[in-house]
């Protein structure tokens, strides 16, 4: 019997409102789903230091919430 469970995604933002980390309350072994770093002019930096264990989420709201 399959159980439906709720999984909440949390978008952690910096002081400018840019999404820096996406995490959830389901993956306890690796709580970070996505991590973002930006250059001062808004271009996203190459991902470093975060192992991608799942398919990348298509997050529309990364730099400055746009």
Query: Per-residue pLDDT tens for 24-60?
Result: 877 777 677 778 788 887 777 876 555 555 555 566 6
Residue 40's pLDDT is: 81
* pTM for the full predicted model: 0.58
Question: In the beta sheet, which residues pair with residue 28?
Answer: none
Cα–Cα distance for residue pair 63/66, rounded to 1 Å = 6
For 47, half-sphere exposure in the C-beta direction (CA atoms, 13 angstrom radius) is: 11
Q: Enumerate the domain spans of the chain.
A: 9-65
For 40, half-sphere exposure in the C-beta direction (CA atoms, 13 angstrom radius) is: 0
């Amino acid at each position: 019997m399959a159980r439906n469970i709720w999984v909440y995604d949390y978008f952690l933002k910096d002081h400018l409102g840019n999404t820096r980390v996406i995490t959830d309350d389901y993956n306890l072994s690796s709580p970070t789903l996505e991590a973002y770093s930006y250059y001062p002019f808004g271009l996203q930096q190459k991902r470093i230091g975060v192992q991608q264990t799942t398919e990348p989420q298509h997050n529309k709201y990364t730099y400055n919430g746009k």
